[in-house]
Amino acid sequence: MTDLDTSPSPALDQRDVRREAMLAKIADLDAEHQKAVNAGGKYIERHHARGKLTARERIELLLDEGAPFLELMTLAGWGTEFTIGGSTVTGIGVVSGVECMIIAHDPTVKGGSINPISMKKTGRAMQIAEENHLPCVTLVESGGADLPHQKDIFLPAGRGFRDITRASARKQPTVALVFGNSTAGGAYIPGMSDYIVMVDGGAKVFLGGPPLVKMATGEVSDDEELGGARMHATTSGLADFLAVDERDAIRLGRRIVARLNVSKKGARFTGPYAEPLLDPEGLLEIIPTDLKEPFDPREVILRLVDGPSETNEVSFDEFKPLYGPSLVTGWARIHGRPIGIIANAQGILFSKEAQKATQFIQLCNASDTPLLFLHNTTGYMVGKEYEQGGIIKHGAMMVNAVSNSTVPAISILIGASYGAGNYGMNGRAYDPRFLFTWPNAKCAVMGPQQLAGVMEIVARGAAESKGVAYDEEAGAATKAFVEDMIEQQSLPYFLSGMVYDDGVIDPRDTRSILGICLSVIENQPIEGNLNFGVFRM
Ligand code: COA
């Protein structure tokens, strides 16, 4: 197969409109990200005045110079009662040449205490670290549980400590650099870690601080005696290294990581590669402002994948291009690494598309090739003809293939992601290794108008069966309310706020992010599976 005809598919005048609309969404996204950066507000200044570095400054110093940091779940907590960011900063970065999961408490937000959103975010970070066998470096400064919300976190939070110890048992290293408070439950974060560095005069690690000890036993003591870094380095033995200051702790942390002897078990890099055939900047011009309008996903694919080169004859090698045209499948490379791509074309998934996807997923498993899903689907086709044609069993076949596929997968919501189409395209519930969302995307059980329309039909039916008149005015108000609510709940910030994705990203960053993810994935062996459940043919 050759690369697609690269003539522009949206009309040129449409391209400007789409570009402006996408740029406005990206500007808005930047503003929301800035809220996470400034989450500490006035406490950032106080923190600096105490001679301390912020979570982001600590991360910046920890990373190799010039190395990228893939920040994850930046908008966690958006639209909730909690501060955007969930009082933590987390992401994947390169430390002493090693890709690491970094989790940093943000002491400028509620003393770095852990609320339900922080817990969801750090839990997901630990899951990513586990699946990709990443060493985990935690930058500790936390007042422990967010006390007013203790009921929502106390019991599930135990899982966090369990995760650290299980990581250790898997030989997935855990390093804690303790800069400040690490109280009560928080004391177990370093306590469970393989390596502990504490900052002299800064770290305070105790099960109970002086007031609590006085209340419990009557003993009078101070912070240093109870949990100071020097005491832990010389007396209790909890600290392995005593750092003279924060920068020294970071230096020691980098030294620890350098000696971990980490190696990649699934390396698939094929050598030098070419930049994409089409300019990624053009991604801004492809997506219609109304997601009901279809667009050609090949226009997206050719801006994400490597261009042709000596070792890569065609940039996108399409599979079954003449069969099930509402879904595009094919092979490509990204940053020199092979990938199988599944992308929706016309929004709707029909039987042929589901069968084609199933076969393609099997082929990628047979060749140990990671998968990339590009979502723009309104779901599986409904209607008499399609039900009679077996759309349920064909959709189930695709969901079965996605569920039992074992090659690493990455999902990107580039448009709509509705209904069971989200499942078949490897939505969050199917545990893709990474899932990112473009700022124009929408995701829900169905579109707001359809959902509100279904509710109206149900309400009319209910009124009729009770023998009462349907209240048109109240019905219209309810419909408008439901439509608006579902629209809001379908938006990327809302989903990111609930930690249903790993981040909302600028489409132009997609290729770089995929490159990082594919490199991270290689830390584990890449092994496909051909043992699927029963396929109902
Ligand atoms: N839960 C909820 N909120 C907390 C918190 C916690 N564990 N720890 C601190 N905060 C809040 C404070 O109430 C304050 O909120 P405000 O801005 O609305 O006034 C904000 O965080 C800053 O606290 P502050 O004490 O001014 O910050 P600090 O940097 O001087 O000290 C701590 C931070 C963590 C050392 C200190 O707040 C503390 O000791 N907290 C209690 C720790 C504890 O005992 N935890 C038990 C967990 S099981």
Domain boundaries along the sequence of the chain = 41-258, 280-446+491-521, 448-489
- CATH fold of 280-446+491-521: 2-enoyl-CoA Hydratase; Chain A, domain 1 (3.90.226)
CA 337 to chain centre: 21
Closest CA to ligand 1's atom 39: 143
Closest CA to ligand 1's atom 25: 111
What Cα–Cα distance (Å) separates residue 518 from each residue in 45, 83, 333, 436?
Answer: 38, 31, 10, 14
CA–CA distance, 250 with 199 (Å, rounded to integer): 10
Virtual torsion, Cα 369, 372, 377, 383, nearest 10 deg: 10
Kindly give the interhelix angle for 351-366 and 391-404, rounded to the nearest 10 degrees.
Answer: 20
What is the pLDDT at residue 537? 80
Closest CA to ligand 1's atom 20: 110
Distance 280 CA to ligand 1 centre (A): 45
CB 195 within 8 A of CB 218: no
* Residue-by-residue pLDDT tens, the chain, 537 positions: 445 554 456 666 789 999 999 999 999 999 999 999 999 999 999 999 999 999 999 999 999 999 999 999 999 999 999 999 999 999 999 999 999 999 999 999 999 999 999 999 999 999 999 999 999 999 999 998 899 999 999 998 889 999 999 999 999 999 999 999 998 888 999 999 999 999 999 999 999 888 889 999 999 999 999 999 999 999 999 999 999 999 999 999 999 999 999 999 999 898 899 999 999 999 999 999 888 888 999 999 999 999 999 988 999 999 999 999 999 999 999 999 999 999 999 889 999 999 999 999 999 999 999 999 999 999 999 999 999 999 999 999 999 999 999 999 999 999 999 999 999 999 999 999 999 999 999 998 888 888 889 899 999 999 999 999 999 999 999 999 998 898 888 899 999 999 999 999 999 999 999 999 999 999 999 999 999 999 988
Q: Which numbered atom of ligand 1 lies nearest the CA of 209?
A: 44
Helix or strand holding residue 512 (H, E) = helix 510-521
Distance 52 CA to ligand 1 centre (A): 16
What is the pLDDT at residue 209? 86
Tokens of 470: 């349907």
CATH superfamily of domain region 41-258: 2-enoyl-CoA Hydratase; Chain A, domain 1 (3.90.226.10)
Instruction: Check pocket membership of 146 for ligand 1, CB cut-off 6 A.
Output: yes
290: phi then psi, degrees, rounded to nearest 5: -105, 115
Tokens of 103: 């989790």
Instruction: Check pocket membership of 183 for ligand 1, CB cut-off 6 A.
Output: yes
Tokens of 428: 């969050």
Q: Which numbered atom of ligand 1 lies nearest the CA of 180?
A: 35
Instruction: Check pocket membership of 145 for ligand 1, CB cut-off 6 A.
Output: yes
Q: Do domains 41-258 and 280-446+491-521 have the same CATH topology?
A: yes
Closest CA to ligand 1's atom 42: 143
What is the number of other CB atoms lying within 10 angstroms of the CB of residue 421? 27
Closest CA to ligand 1's atom 2: 146
- Our mutation pick for probing the ligand 1 site, out of 53, 108, 110, counting the most ligand atoms within 8 A of Cβ, is 110
Instruction: Check pocket membership of 187 for ligand 1, CB cut-off 6 A.
Output: no
Virtual torsion, Cα 450, 456, 459, 464, nearest 10 deg: -120
- Burial status of residue 534 (CB atoms within 10 A of its CB: 0-12, 13-18, 19 or more): exposed
What is the number of other CB atoms lying within 10 angstroms of the CB of residue 168? 15
Count Cα atoms within 13 angstroms, Cβ side, for 237.
0
What is the pLDDT at residue 389? 94
By three-state DSSP, how is residue 525 classified? coil
Virtual torsion, Cα 436, 442, 445, 449, nearest 10 deg: 180
Distance 120 CA to ligand 1 centre (A): 20
Residue with tokens 């400054």: 57
Distance 143 CA to ligand 1 centre (A): 6
b/e for 75-97, b at 16 or more Cβ within 10 A?
Answer: bbbbbeebbbbbbbbbbbbbbbe
CA–CA distance, 84 with 115 (Å, rounded to integer): 12
Q: Which numbered atom of ligand 1 lies nearest the CA of 50?
A: 29
Instruction: Check pocket membership of 344 for ligand 1, CB cut-off 6 A.
Output: no
Distance 73 CA to ligand 1 centre (A): 23
Q: Which numbered atom of ligand 1 lies nearest the CA of 143?
A: 34
What is the pLDDT at residue 4? 53
Closest CA to ligand 1's atom 16: 110
Kindly give the interhelix angle for 246-258 and 55-62, rounded to the nearest 10 degrees.
Answer: 40
Smallest Cα–Cα separation from 524: which of 373, 368, 404? 368
Distance 297 CA to ligand 1 centre (A): 49
Closest CA to ligand 1's atom 30: 111
CB 451 within 8 A of CB 424: no
Distance 76 CA to ligand 1 centre (A): 21
Distance 42 CA to ligand 1 centre (A): 15
Residue 506 per-residue DSSP state: -
Tokens of 508: 């132009």
Distance 184 CA to ligand 1 centre (A): 12
b/e for 213-225, b at 16 or more Cβ within 10 A?
Answer: beeeeeeeeeeee
Count Cα atoms within 13 angstroms, Cβ side, for 127.
17
CB 433 within 8 A of CB 426: no
b/e for 7-46, b at 16 or more Cβ within 10 A?
Answer: eeebeeebbeebbebbeebbeebeebbeebeebbeebbee
Instruction: Check pocket membership of 215 for ligand 1, CB cut-off 6 A.
Output: no
